[in-house]
Amino acid sequence: MHRTLLLAAVLLLSVTSAGAESGLASYYGGRGHGLTCAHRTRPFGSIVTVSSEGRSIRCRVNDRGPFVRGRVIDLSVSAARALGMMRAGVIRVSVQ
């Protein structure tokens, strides 16, 4: 029984961290309104959680990008404001 629970916990951790990535985020005017973002590979319409320095937001992928080396996601102005990155312009984030 104990071994089964341990195996289940390991599988759960591997599934939840499989889609995680980290890197730099920037923001752009973007298409649409609200908490949206651009990502190179995630499907359009999918929801991602973007976290930085204790803040997290959920935004919908509705565009492709970023096309700048080292950046993993571009956020709409609304999403950037919610994450508190308007002054910095570019911040380190985790995307799940």
Q: How far is CA 84 from the centre of its chain?
A: 14
Residue 4 lies in a domain: no
Higher pLDDT, 9 or 91: 91
Residue 12 lies in a domain: no
pLDDT of 6 higher than 90:
no
- Phi and psi, residue 58, nearest 5°: -115, 130
pLDDT in tens, 22-51: 999 999 986 667 999 999 999 999 999 999
pLDDT in tens, 10-20: 333 333 455 89
Q: Quote the DSSP letter at residue 41.
A: S
What CATH code is carried by the domain that includes residue 72?
2.40.40.10
pLDDT for res 78: 95
Work out how many domains the chain is built from and give that number: 1
Which string of b and e fits 48-62 if b means at least 16 CB within 10 Å? bebebeeeebebbbb
Residue 3 lies in a domain: no
Residue 11 lies in a domain: no
Residue 40 lies in a domain: yes
**Beta strands per DSSP E along 1-96:** 21-28, 36-38, 47-52, 55-63, 71-76, 90-95
